[in-house]
Every structure is written in structure tokens, then in C-alpha cells.
Chain A
Amino acid sequence: MGEHLIKTPDVGEGIAEAELVEWHVKPGDLVREDMILASVMTDKATVEIPSPIAGKVLWLGAEVGDKIAIGGPLIRLEVAGEGNVAAGGAAPVAPRKEPPKAEAPKPAPKAAAPEQPAPRAEKPKAAAASRPTPGLRTSGPPRPPGEKPLASPAVRLKAREAGADLRRIRGTGPAGRITHEDLEAWLSGAGEPEGGGSRLVANTAVEEVKVIGLRRKIAEKMALSKSRIPHITYVEEVDVTALEELRESLNRTKGPDRPKLTVIPFLMRAMVRAIADQPQLNAIFDDEAGIVRRHGGVHIGIAAQTPAGLVVPVVRHAEARDLWDCAVEMNRVAEAAKAGTATREELSGSTITISSLGALGGIVSTPVINHPEVAIIGVNKMAVRPVWNGSAFAPRKIMNLSSSFDHRVIDGWDAATFVQRLRALLETPALLFMEA
């Protein structure tokens, strides 16, 4: 029997550290070769780390949410044969770094060299159900509907005599048990809820949700964008009646091998056209270097909701794709993102972004620029509205575009010109297909 140390593998070019988002094993588990040990998140993609060897998990090198260094110790296994860690000594690896963000002093393993990382205490996962939530001693979580209050006979009697309805009192005890203290607090008026005779109870529960993984990425990205970029948002309405007729006609007559068209591929083509006139909109602003890099290729990010949160898969080189190709590629990367199988390349490298919530699009939105890009086009909900055509109101299909621009490098004039150009292209969709 020996110990085998698995180091955090290189999960992407130029990445020095990754965030641990999930352990798939715990100490004591037996793992087979190629079994997934952990998931780490790099820039955007989640990478699963398989085990190169069979063995028993002895030690985990980080907590979920920790940043772990590439090449740093990830996990130790007990394996048949010698292993790669000298018995009782340090692993024969280059200067050992303590696991990043190591927690407060841990007990050293017996007979271990001092520099050996200490084993982590077993995760308190199993005890989660029984662990009282810290900081909530004054009031327990509300009882789920239909559940009877839980209290000892003495508490029940005291409540009965005091005319207190236990159903209205929250329990801070184990399993939500109403304690004498809870009852006293309620009777003295300190307890909550008050509410004159109402069965409704105030919910003062606070659930702590660790912002990790994709959520942390989103949070960082949004904060970066909003703090660095002075946004200018411009909203214009677009009459898409003609576009809709065309779209419906194409969908009706399309071959079975072609995808159903939404408005987005049309918008993508319109953006390609407008960018040809205004290349400054399809750019990456390296504000530290003071350089705007205008890209020839139009790589359109498509903001997509996934179960884990917002991701932005990228349709690369939209300028080289026709309408159908845009639609096919958009569907492909969006599906991959939703399924969590998108590669790092498919989730990065966009030069301009579309944000669309479809039927949830609302009237106006204020999209946040996908830093370090300089423009984002937001698509609002389409609706039939009465439009004055000079002599009468006519029912027209109207859709707003809410777009934000980096005001440091895009003037309002340029922004408005760009959106007006998009509008003209979308209102007269034949223009999309005219050779320039």
C-alpha cells in the first residue's frame, strides 16, 4: 500500500489557478481509474478531473469554492503498490506549496513530516440536516405548511394556559422544536410574529448561499463591467412586421434539415452589415493598455440562461455565415452551453454580444456590456401595437432594441447611428440580402 498524490492538472492554456466547484468523492471513497474526482472552473468552462489511478481517498486538498493552483496538491489516494509519496514523508514533487487558502491550523497526521499537508477533517455533510443554523437562535425557520408544531408536553400546557397558539410560534430547538424560551419570548411580545390574529407569520430566516463557481464568475464579470465601463443605453423601436412575414414564410417553406428561424439570426446578419460601416462597434477595449482592438471577424456572443446561470456561448465569424448558418451555429453553441458541454473556445472570444430574453424580453432593458467588449444589443419583446401611418392607426409588429455601449470609446452619435442602421435593415429585411 502506498500513497498517491494527484496534483491539479493543467486545465487550460495559461491558467494558473482554478476554482474548485465540486468534489465528486469524499475521504474513504474507493475510486476507479478514470472516475471523476472533482470539478474545477476556469475562466468559463467547468473541467472535470478524473483519477489517473484506482485507490481509496485519503485526503482532499481544498474546500469547494477555494482557488487551487495548477500543479498544487489536489487529492491523496491510498493505492496498491508504492504510490508516489514516500511513506511518512513529503511527496517527491517540487517545492511543496501549502494548499491555497488552507484553513486555520489543522492537526498534523501522525508520523507525518511537518511539511506534509494535514488531512482535512471529514466533511460535515452528513450532519448538515442536524446542524442548527448559526446566527438564527432568536427565531427558527418557519414551519412548512401543514406541519404540526413540535413542543414538549410542558411547553404545550404552558401555551394552552397562556392562550398562545403554538402554530404561530416558531421553534428554535432541534427539528424546529418550540422551547420554553421560544414561548416566553412570544408571550413577552419579543417573539415574532405579531400580526393581529393572523395565521401569517413573518419569515426571518436567512439562508446563506455560497457564491461559487459560475455564479461567482458572473458576479465578478458584472461588477467589473459596471465599475469599469460607463454605459450609455439607447432604446429604439423597430417595426418588424415585414421581417416577421419573411421569417414565417421561410419557416413555412424551409427544408426539414434546416432549423426554425427566430429573430436573432436576422439580427446577427444586420449587425454584420452595420459593423461593416462602423467597425468601432465590434471591438475589444483594453483599457489598461489604452488600445481598442477592432476585429475583422464578427464573433457574436449570445447571452443564454442555463440551470447554473448566465453563460455567453459565441457564434464565431458571423460575417462568414449566411442566415441559416447563423441559426444552426447559434443553436449548436447554445445547446452545448445549456448541456454544460461547451468548450472554453465556444464560451469565449466574442467581440459583440446579443442579449435576448424572448417572451420575457419586456419593453426596455439596460444590458450590461460583456467586458471588454464595447457594445451589447438587447432584444425586447415583440408586440402588435397601433402605429399611426399618417392617416390611420395600423396594427404593426413592434420590437424594441435596448442597447448599451461603452461611452469611453463610443459616442452617443455613433451608438444612435448604429442602432438606426440596424433598425433600417430589420424594417426592410430585403436589405439584409442585397449584395453591398
Chain B
Amino acid sequence: MLKPMSCKLLVIGAGPGGYVCAIRAGQLGIDTVVVEALRPGGTCLNIGCIPSKALIHAAEVFEAAKAAAEANNPLGISASAPVLNLAKTVEWKDGIVARLTGGVTGLMKKAGVKYVSGTARFENGETVIVATDMGEQEIHAENIVIATGSVPVEIPSLPFGERIISSKEALKLSEPPERLVVVGGGYIGLELGTAYAKLGSQVTVVEAAPRILPLYDAELSAPVARRLARLGVEVLTSTKALGLSPDGASLRVESEETARSLPADRILVAVGRKPNFEGLGLEELAIDMEGRHIRVDDRCRTAMRGVYAIGDATGEPMLAHRAMAQGEMVAEIVAGHKRAWDKQAIPAVCFTDPEIVSVGLGPEEARASGREIKTALFPFAANGRAMTLQSEEGFVRVVARADNHLILGIQAVGAGVSELASGFGLALEMGARLEDLAATIHAHPTMGEAVPEAALRALGKALHV
């Protein structure tokens, strides 16, 4: 039993929500402690966003090298067939992760945040017991932030193990599985499935919904489906995963028409994530839940005074940038500043091939809200920069109110369009109208030129289509 500590702010979890909250709180002079059971940076830095992007990049480079090695490639490059050493790739990726987690540790330290490594459990609304390597540490805090993140959802008939893996294990395989079956055609499953297809695996995607990426509209997901087909990825939609075959070497799946057995060396289950409250002792608190996640108000306050929740613990959208914004806000609220959640849009990016980015409302959502809208898309096939990148698939699409042209949403699908998300988000937060987008000079030649073109087209005066 260690000597009890007390602080003004205790943050449970050092993922993107928690560490940002802790850093800002420390900067504001608040006596802050952050507790982390694993490593700083949470899922995002260690086993999520960052490592998956590293793997996707390596797969793209490998794919490009393979293309360059093809006899008649249009770029006129001659190269010999590339060879992959995935263990080395994973090592490189781990290096990036180490740099970033080290950076986070350094930033917290610089801000004067105390870091406690261990698993936290609520004793009551003001006290947390942390199981550390050196014994139990009791911490009293005036304010506590629950930033415990989320974990992959497990399918009961497909328990995680050697052959059945989650995204976490998929990021540290020593070699690409010969046959990879991905259960779940959402963004996580497709990002990793695509990467492994490029790295040489024979990939099959099993999705229960009628199409992949069911959370994006069909117009956005169609280019991704086409690319998967060209990569030789078999996509089984309206298909349910039942369980392993008796010999454990295949996955049994079933659709309305047929039942099949898919031989698989690895089965990646990526059917969503759920808030992680395991061992936290939430039942000790008078906290309201909303389904699986904690209910919070526009200041991320839970039903219990002095207890906040941020990030995936508060439900969808489970996105690191949302958690970060919430964390920053809560730190400032604890510091006595007047703050409340008033964001107009939370961008969502899908690092598939091609990438998808969506900010604000799509056409159907906007119409469903009862508005008259104007919407238009500009295809990259008419964009010079896209041609020079051999990436003419996709488009930029704008959705605006018909009456005052206020932009309600911007979406894009195409190579590298994730980088356009910043401009899209800015347009929505600033309350831009179609005329604002159309009248902003976008550099030539860039793929971003599709943005004003889409706005012009919505206004009925496109130049390049």
C-alpha cells in the first residue's frame, strides 16, 4: 500500500483524449495526475490509427514497387520484383510508435503532469485505487476524467486467439497470412484487409450489410469496392460469419442464397469497438449510461458531480480527434474557463484505397433533416493533378442549403483526400457558403481544385465539367 495521493484533476487513461486533457490541464497550472494501464498514447498511438497508417503506407509502397516491376508499366520504369520482410516493416512501425509515445510522455512531463502506471478502479466519485507494480495507490481528486477508450468487439462464436485476431494483432504479424478473412466491412477491416492484399495475402471480406462501409453512402463507398475488386479482394456482402469449421481451419459463412466455408490462415474480426470499462468499478458511481457508453452533457459532465467522461467512453463517433477536443475542453472547464461543446462537424476519414473523407451531412442526411439542398460533385477524372498521380478515381462532393447556400457537408473519395479534411472542417466551422468555397483560390495543380469546382457546379457554373 502506497501513500495516498491527492490532486485537483485525475485523468484515467492516457490515450489521445486523456493525454491532451492532462497536458492542457498541466499547462493551465492544475495539479494533474494521469493513470494509464498500458502505454501512453492509448489505442491510437500504439495499436490503432498510427501503426495502421504505417502498415498501409508500407503496403502502398510495396504495391507501387510491384507495379513498377511490371513489364509494361506506363511510367517506363524497369525494376525487379520487390521482396517484403514484414518483420522489418513492423520494426519500422514500432519505431514510429515509440517516438510518438515518447513524445507524449515528454509533453506531459513538461506540462507538470504526474504519470502513474497501473489499472484504476473507482472507490467512489472522488477516490480511485490504482493497481501499480509496487502495490495499490490511492488517489483522491476533486475532478476525475474517464478517458478509458474502447476495445474491439468480440463475436462470441469467434473468440480472439491464435487464428482469430483483432486489429491489434493484425498490426504485428511477422508475415502476411496466405489467406486472410476479414469479418466486418467497416473502415478498420477494409483498411487492414486492403493493406494485406497489397502485401500479398489472398483476402476475403465478410460483411453482414448489403454493402461495404455501410456508414458511408453508396456513392462514396463505390470507388473503394471497385478498387478492392481490382486488388483481387473477394467481398461477400449480406453474409454472416457463423464460426470456425470443425477442423478450425476455415470460417463458415452464410448468406440468403448460400453457405460457404472460407479457408483462412488468419481471421481478422473488425466488427466495431465498444467502450472499455473493464475493472473500472463504474458500478460504484451514480453515473448514467446510454447503452454501452457513458452519458455526458455538452461539457462532458457525467451525472456525477466532478466526474467527466471523454472520448470513446462517451460513444460514437469513436474518433481520436473528437476525444482530443473533448479532453482539451474538459481541462479548460476544470480550470474555470467557460467552455461547452459547440463543434459544427467532426471529420471522419477512412484510409481505404481510395481514401474517403466526410465532414458534416451527406446529401441523404441533409434531405432527411427536411432541408432543400443543393449538391454537386466534381470528379477527379477531370483534375489534372489526379491524372499525374495515376489516381483519377473519386470526386469531391458538396452539400449546401438551397436557400442560403450554407455548406452542410463536404465529402471526398480519392487518393490522398484525407489531407483535404482540414479544409472541409474549416469551411463548416466558419459557416462558409458555396460562394465562399467557389471564390477561394485553390492552388493549381492540386487535387484540392476539385473543391471550388464542386461548389461552382452546385451553383450551376462549373468550369471544368
Contacts A156-B342, A160-B338, A161-B338; is A129 near B431 (CB within 8 Å)? no
A117-161 contacts to B, CB under 8 A, are 126, 129-130, 150-153, 156, 160-161
A110–B403 Cα distance when bound, in Å, is 36
Interface string of B406-435 (1 = CB under 8 A from A): 100000000000000000000001110101
Interface assignment of A176: CB less than 8 Å from any CB of chain B = yes
**CA–CA, A415 to B401, complex, Å?**
60
Is there an interface contact between B429 and A152, defined as CB atoms closer than 8 Å?
A: yes
For B430, the closest partner residue in chain A by CB is A152
Closest to B340 in A: A160
Task: From known contacts A129-B405, A130-B405, infer whether A175 and B338 are also in contact, taking CB-CB under 8 Å.
Answer: no
Which positions 428-465 of chain B face chain A at CB distance < 8 Å? 429-431, 433, 435-436, 460
A129/B340 in contact, CB under 8 A: no
In B220-245, the 8 Å CB interface with A consists of: none
**CB atoms of A175 and B433 under 8 A apart:** yes
A151 and B431: CB pair below 8 A?
yes
B406: which A residues are within 8 A, CB to CB? 150, 175
A-B contact count (CB 8 A): 40
Does the CB pair B338–A176 fall under 8 Å? Answer: no
Cβ contacts under 8 Å, A152 to chain B:
429-431
Within 8 A of A (CB), among B282-339: 337-339
Residue B404 at the chain A interface, CB threshold 8 Å: yes
What is the distance, in angstroms, from A315's C-beta to the closest C-beta of chain B?
45
Q: How far is the CA of A174 from the CA of B430 in the complex (A)?
A: 11
Is A163 an interface position by the 8 A CB rule? yes
B346 to nearest A CB, angstroms? 13
| Contact status B337-A161, CB under 8 Å | yes
- Tell me which of B338, B339, B404 contacts A130 (CB under 8 A): B404
**Does A260 have its Cβ within 8 Å of any Cβ on chain B?**
no
CB of A177 within 8 Å of the partner chain: yes
Instruction: Give complex CA distance A151, B430 in Å.
Output: 7
Query: A163, B338: Cβ atoms under 8 Å?
Result: yes
| A361 is an interface residue with CB less than 8 A from chain B | no
Query: What is the bound-complex CA distance between A173 and B435, given in angstroms?
Result: 13
Contact check: which of A130, A160, A163, A175 meets B431 at CB < 8 Å?
A: A175
Chain B contacts with A in 123-158, Cβ cutoff 8 A: none
Assess whether B431 is in contact with A177, with CB atoms less than 8 Å apart: yes
- For chain B residues 323-373, which have a beta carbon within 8 Å of chain A? 337-340, 342
Q: Is the CB of A130 within 8 A of B460?
A: no
Among A157-207, those with CB < 8 Å from B are: 160-161, 163, 173-177
In the bound complex, CA of A174 to CA of B436 (Å): 9
CB distance from A123 to the nearest CB of B (A): 14
Residues of B within 8 A of A153 (CB): 342, 429-430
Contact flags (1/0) for B378-419 with A, using CB distance below 8 Å? 000000000000000000000001111110000000000000
Q: Are A129 and B403 in contact (CB under 8 A)?
A: yes
Contacts A160-B338, A160-B340; is A175 near B405 (CB within 8 Å)?
yes
> Is there an interface contact between A175 and B339, defined as CB atoms closer than 8 Å?
no
- Rounded to whole angstroms, the CA-CA distance of A156 and B436 in the bound complex is 20
Compute how far the CA of A338 lies from the CA of B406 in the bound complex, rounded to whole angstroms.
Answer: 39
CB of A174 within 8 A of CB of B340, answer no
Residue of A152, A161, A174, A175 with most chain B CB atoms under a 10 A cut-off: A175
Separation of A174 and B402 alpha carbons in the complex (Å): 14
- Tell whether, in the assembled complex, residue B435 and residue A174 are in contact, meaning their CB atoms are under 8 Å apart: yes
What are the residues of chain B within 8 A of A160 when measuring CB–CB? Answer: 338-340, 342
What residues of chain A lie closer than 8 Å to B435, measured between beta carbons? 130, 174
Complex CA–CA separation, A176 to B431 (angstroms): 9
Q: Pick from A130, A151, A161: contact of B433, CB below 8 A.
A: A130
In the complex, chain B residues whose CB is within 8 Å of the CB of A130: 404-405, 433, 435
Partner pick for A150 among B402, B431, B460, CB 8 A cutoff: B431
Q: Hey, what's the 0/1 contact readout for A91-129 against B, CB within 8 Å counting as 1?
A: 000000000000000000000000000000000001001
CB distance from B403 to the nearest CB of A (A): 6
Nearest-Cβ distance from residue A159 to partner chain B, whole angstroms = 9
A 3-20 binary contact with B (CB < 8 Å = 1; else 0): 000000000000000000
Whether A174 pairs with B433 at a CB distance below 8 angstroms is yes
Chain A residues within an 8 Å CB radius of B401: 175
Chain A, Cβ-Cβ closest to B337:
A161
Residues of A within 8 A of B340 (CB): 160
Q: How far is the CB of A183 from chain B (nearest CB, A)?
A: 14
**Once the chains are docked, how many angstroms separate the CA of A133 from the CA of B404?**
13
In angstroms, Cα B92 to Cα A310, docked, is: 83
Please judge, given known A-B contacts A160-B338, A161-B337, whether A176 and B404 are in contact too, CB under 8 Å. yes
Chain B residues contacting A156 (CB-CB under 8 Å) are 342
B404 engages A129 (CB within 8 Å): yes
Q: Roughly how many angstroms separate A156 CA and B329 CA in the complex, as a whole number?
A: 13
How distant is the Cα of A138 from the Cα of B405 in the complex, in angstroms? 22
Bound-state CA distance A160–B431 (Å) is 18
Whose C-beta in chain B lies nearest to the C-beta of A161? Answer: B338
CB closest chain-A residue, reference B460: A126
Q: A289 → chain B, closest Cβ, in Å? A: 55
Residues of B within 8 A of A129 (CB): 402-405
User: Smallest distance from the beta carbon of B301 to chain A beta carbons, Å?
Assistant: 16
Which among B338, B403, B404, B431 has the greatest number of chain A C-beta atoms within 10 A? B431
A153 to B431, CA, bound (A): 9
**Assembled-state Cα–Cα distance A150/B405 (Å):** 13
Q: Which single residue of chain B is at the shortest CB-CB distance from A162?
A: B338
Cβ of B369 to closest chain A Cβ, rounded Å: 11
List chain A residues, Cβ under 8 A from B460.
126
Q: Which residues of B contact A163 (CB under 8 A)?
A: 338
> How many angstroms between the C-alpha atoms of A152 and B427 in the bound complex?
10
CB distance from A178 to the nearest CB of B (A): 9
Select from chain A the residue with minimum beta-carbon distance to B434: A130
Q: Which of B337, B342, B404, B429 contacts A175 (CB 8 A)?
A: B404
- Known contacts: A160-B339, A160-B340, A161-B337. The answer to whether A173 contacts B403 by CB under 8 A is no
In the bound assembly, the distance between CA atoms of A130 and B337 in angstroms comes to 37
Q: Which residues of B contact A161 (CB under 8 A)?
A: 337-338
Bound state CA distance, A43 and B325, in angstroms?
A: 67
What chain B residues lie within 8 Å of A126 (beta carbons)?
Answer: 460
Minimum CB distance partner of B429 in chain A: A153
Q: Across the interface, which residues of B come within 8 angstroms of A151, CB to CB?
A: 431
Task: Contact check, B431 vs A173: say whether CB atoms are below 8 A apart.
Answer: yes
For A175, what are the chain B residues with a Cβ–Cβ distance below 8 Å?
401, 404-406, 431, 433
* A423 and B406 alpha carbons, distance in the complex (Å): 63
How far apart sit A156 and B338, CA to CA, in the bound complex (Å)?
A: 11
Closest to A173 in B: B431
How long is the Cα–Cα vector from A130 to B342 in the complex, in angstroms?
26
CB A12 to nearest CB in B, in angstroms, measures: 39
Q: What residue in chain B is nearest A176 (Cβ atoms)?
A: B404
Whole-angstrom distance between the alpha carbons of A274 and B339 in the complex? 80
Q: How far is the CB of B401 from chain A (nearest CB, A)?
A: 8
**Nearest-CB distance from A411 to chain B (Å)?**
58
Residues of A within 8 Å of B403, CB to CB, are: 129
A152 to B436, CA, bound (A): 14
Nearest Cβ in chain B — how far from A207, in angstroms?
15
Docked CA distance A175–B430 (Å): 11
Q: In the complex, A151→B433 CA distance in Å?
A: 12
**Shortest 4 CB-CB contacts between residues of A and residues of B:** A175-B404, A175-B406, A150-B431, A177-B431
Apart from A129-B402, A130-B433, A160-B342, what 9 extra A-B contacts exist at CB < 8 Å?
A: A130-B405, A152-B430, A156-B342, A161-B338, A173-B431, A174-B404, A174-B431, A174-B436, A176-B404
* 29 A-B residue pairings within 8 Å (CB atoms): A126-B460, A129-B404, A130-B404, A130-B405, A150-B406, A150-B431, A152-B429, A152-B430, A152-B431, A153-B342, A153-B429, A156-B342, A160-B338, A160-B339, A160-B340, A160-B342, A161-B337, A161-B338, A173-B431, A174-B404, A174-B431, A174-B435, A174-B436, A175-B401, A175-B404, A175-B405, A175-B431, A175-B433, A176-B404
